[in-house]
Structure 1
Amino acid sequence: MDEEYDVIVLGTGLKECILSGLLSVDGLKVLHMDRNDYYGGESTSLSLVQLWKRFRSNDKPPELLGSSREYNVDMIPKFMMANGTLVRVLIRTGVTKYLNFKAVDGSFVYNNGKIYKVPATDVEALKSTLMGLFEKRRARKFFIYVQDYEDDDPKSHEGLDLNKVTTRDVISKYGLEDNTVDFIGHALALHRDDSYLDEPAIYTVKRMKLYAESLARFQGGSPYIYPLYGLGELPQGFARLSAVYGGTYMLNKPECKVEFDTDGKAYGVTSEGETAKCKKVVCDPSYLPDKVKKVGRVARAICIMSHPIPNTNDSHSVQIILPQKQLGRRSDMYVFCCSYAHNVAPKGKYIAFVSTEAETDHPETELKPGIDLLGPVDETFFDIYDRYEPANHDEQDNCFISTSYDATTHFESTVQDVISMYKKITGKELDLSVDLSAASAAGEDA
């Protein structure tokens, strides 16, 4: 503990573990500490007994749910885009060798009380039951434009400068209906609200292209992949990476008090009477509560079931996005479902999560539209947790704080926070130029 480090990382949540791995690979001397005696922090995975202990105090889970050890219930469940940034980070760092992935069966969107497979290409648009005949043709033309668009090929721009015109302008050119715009913006481009409509269209087009490229990568029913045994494997994979490159890990360290000098700059961390010195501190919001601000809350339901979600083609793993307008809400709702097929539950059991940005104090009522899609449920746990963002100036205090996990059931916003933090900590862009064909070797089915 009495050594000096370049960086001390507090908390073994996924973001913190990715950063400690990346910084160790860069040759920085890293000490990683956690007050808990397990990896994962808020993004840990729980056995059935641990789940009961967390939400039901001392009750014991009923035997009919199966073996506790066969459950790996993610507290922050998220799928990865097969062609997305997190996969690039995994390949770039070699963490893929610690994990096995499997493609996610389905990607759906909620529209007018029903759920539909998300059409992502011109061919799928023509087959989709989500749109009428004439709307299918209009959507097909728009998808072809997006698929053919290349930054460095002016011919593909059709006279539009996507860095200047808004998404609303581009969509109006194709005359798309509101329901079509809804699923394109929220289920394909994965925007969390409708503010994207008045932003440069290039962001939405690139997000749509990522979705379509990810869908094509493994020829599955969705663009997503997910690790066998759940996300709890990810923090441990990056922890191993950090250790290989000289990082030091200490779990079960109480307090972990950040020390500041007279200028307000962090210079070390004290635990059990010993202080480790450092140049920079990286942590989750719980370690520096006076340097963060509350920006919202997430409401969620965790449901254990004995069947797949109805109307999803019997998918063993699936994401359903319920766009805000469809529910008369200010934010989208997300349904995540996984099962024994990904080794997160005993055979025949499924785990579904329904999550959204909380707008009331009553998650049971607020999450009802998503829960109603699940069919009969064996057990349900409700929860609300606060979301925080850093309120400090890292250049002044040398503290780099991650944002809390949002309600989305995909990693696109999470990994952007990691990349932004990496740039602030190191002063350089993260090199993500990798051969994505290597991803095929990363998974069992992926």
Structure 2
Amino acid sequence: MDEEYDVIVLGTGLKECILSGLLSVDGLKVLHMDKNDYYGGESTSLNLNQLWKRFRGDDKPPEHLGSSREYNVDMIPKFTMANGGLVRTLIHTNVTKYLNFKAVDGSYVYNKGKIHKVPATDVEALKSPLMGLFEKRRAQKFFVFVQDYEESDPKTHDGMDLMKVTTSELITKYGLDANTVDFIGHALALHRDDNYLGEPALDTVKRMKLYAESLARFQGGSPYIYPMYGLGELPQAFARLSAVYGGTYMLNKQECKVELDAEGKVFGVTSEGETAKCKKVVCDPSYLPDKVKKVGRVARAICIMSHPIPNTSDSHSVQVILPQKQLGRKSDMYLFCCSYSHNVAPKGKYIAFVSTEAETDEPEVELKPGIDLLGPVDEKFFDIYDRYEPTNKHDGDNCFISTSYDASTHFESTVEDVLAMYSKITGKVLDLTVDLSGASASGEESEA
């Protein structure tokens, strides 16, 4: 503790661990502390006994659920887009060597009371029961435009500047109905609300291309991959990376207090009577509660089941997006399911999560449309947590605070936050142009 560091990172959540890894690779001297005695912070994975302790106090889990240590229940359940930012970061830092990924079986969307596979290409659009015959033709044309679109080649732009044309105007040009727009915007482009319709279309087109390219990557039923043994593996892998490059780790450090000088600039962190000096602090919102504001809440149900989610072709791992309009809500709802095939539960057991941005104080009622799609459930737990965003001026106090995790079931927004923080801390942009062919995942097990 009696040394001086370039950066002290507080909390071992995924965002903080990725940043300590990246900053250590850059040659900065990093001290990483956590008040907890385990890795992962908010984004940890729990075994069955830990899950029970957290939600049921002193009760013991029933025997029929199997061995506690065979469970790895994510507290922030998310899949990884196969060509997305997190995979690029893993390859860029060579953290892939610490992890095994496996492709996720299915990606579905809820429409008019039913679950359908998400069509991602012109060929799939023609097969999809989501649309009538004429709508399929229009959607096919739109998908072909998106697939062929290259930002640097005006011949593929069809006379449109997608920085100026809004998504709504682009969709109107192809005559797509509201139903089709709903699954394209929310299940393919993965927008969390409808604000994107008024924004430049380029972002949506890029998001659709990312989805289609990720889907093509492993010829699986979805564009997603997920680590064996759950997401708790990710923070630990980046922590190893940081340690390899000289980062120092201290867990179970009680009462980490960020010290500010007379001008309000950070100069160190005190724990157990010792102060470690530093130029910058990186942390999650729980370490600097007076520099963040509450911006929302996530409601979530965690369900243990003995079967896959019905109507998902018996998928062992799957995401189902329930667009807001389908439920008469302001925000989308997400189903996420993983199982023993990713080594997160004993054989024959499935773990399903239903998450959404809370709009009321009654998670049980709010999450019902999602829970109703699960079929019989062995056990279920309800959780609601606050989401925070930083309010400080980082160039004034040198404190860099991550935003809380949202309800979405993929890591794209998480990585955006990490990359933005990295640029603020270092003053440079992380170049994630990597050779994606170096990573793989399969129906079986393999290195990603």
TM-score by length of 2: 0.99
> Secondary structure of 2:446's partner?
coil
Amino acid at match of 2:211: Y
- C-alpha deviation, 1:439, in angstroms: 1.0
Structure 1 residues 55-204: aligned runs within 5 Å:
55-204=55-204
Distance, in Å, in 2 between the alignment partners of 1:439 and 1:147 is 23
> Secondary structure of 2:440's partner?
helix
Aligned to 2:332: 332
Task: Tell me, yes or no, if structure 1 residue 267 matches structure 2 residue 296.
Answer: no
Distance, in Å, in 2 between the alignment partners of 1:189 and 1:112 is 20
Structure 1 residues 40-439: aligned runs within 5 Å:
40-439=40-439
Given that 1:9 and 1:33 are in contact with CA atoms closer than 8 Å, whether structure 2 keeps it comes out as: yes
Given that 2:299 and 2:356 are in contact with CA atoms closer than 8 Å, whether structure 1 keeps it comes out as: yes
Moved over 4 A (4+): none
Given that 1:109 and 1:187 are in contact with CA atoms closer than 8 Å, whether structure 2 keeps it comes out as: yes
Aligned to 1:37: 37
> Secondary structure of 1:308's partner?
coil
Given that 2:218 and 2:441 are in contact with CA atoms closer than 8 Å, whether structure 1 keeps it comes out as: no
Distance, in Å, in 2 between the alignment partners of 1:433 and 1:321 is 29
| Structure 1 unmatched ranges of 5 or more | none
- C-alpha deviation, 1:444, in angstroms: 1.5
Amino acid at match of 1:146: V
Amino acid at match of 2:334: Y
Given that 1:103 and 1:226 are in contact with CA atoms closer than 8 Å, whether structure 2 keeps it comes out as: yes
Amino acid at match of 1:408: S
Amino acid at match of 2:154: P
Q: What CA deviation, in whole Å up to 9, does each residue of 1:204-226 have, x standing for no partner?
A: 00000000000000000000000
TM-score by length of 1: 0.99
Q: How many residues align?
A: 446
Task: Tell me, yes or no, if structure 1 residue 444 matches structure 2 residue 418.
Answer: no
Q: What CA deviation, in whole Å up to 9, does each residue of 1:182-227 have, x standing for no partner?
A: 0000000000000000000000000000000000000000000000
Distance, in Å, in 2 between the alignment partners of 1:441 and 1:343 is 15
Distance, in Å, in 2 between the alignment partners of 1:94 and 1:151 is 29
Distance, in Å, in 2 between the alignment partners of 1:362 and 1:432 is 41
Amino acid at match of 2:203: Y
Q: What CA deviation, in whole Å up to 9, does each residue of 1:62-114 have, x standing for no partner?
A: 00000000000000010000000100000000110000000000000000000
Q: What CA deviation, in whole Å up to 9, does each residue of 1:341-383 have, x standing for no partner?
A: 0000000000000000000000000000000000000000001
Distance, in Å, in 1 between the alignment partners of 2:128 and 2:437 is 29
Given that 2:96 and 2:447 are in contact with CA atoms closer than 8 Å, whether structure 1 keeps it comes out as: no
Distance, in Å, in 1 between the alignment partners of 2:441 and 2:327 is 40
- C-alpha deviation, 1:317, in angstroms: 0.1
Given that 1:103 and 1:445 are in contact with CA atoms closer than 8 Å, whether structure 2 keeps it comes out as: no
Q: What CA deviation, in whole Å up to 9, does each residue of 1:321-355 have, x standing for no partner?
A: 00000000000000000000000000000000000
Amino acid at match of 2:204: T
- C-alpha deviation, 1:445, in angstroms: 7.6
Amino acid at match of 1:236: Q
- C-alpha deviation, 1:228, in angstroms: 0.2
Distance, in Å, in 1 between the alignment partners of 2:410 and 2:186 is 12
- In structure 2, do the counterparts of structure 1 residues 324 and 406 end up closer, same or farther at CA, with 3 Å as the change threshold? same
- C-alpha deviation, 1:433, in angstroms: 1.5
Amino acid at match of 1:390: P
- In structure 2, do the counterparts of structure 1 residues 445 and 287 end up closer, same or farther at CA, with 3 Å as the change threshold? closer
Given that 1:4 and 1:278 are in contact with CA atoms closer than 8 Å, whether structure 2 keeps it comes out as: yes
Identity of aligned residues (%): 85
Amino acid at match of 1:350: Y
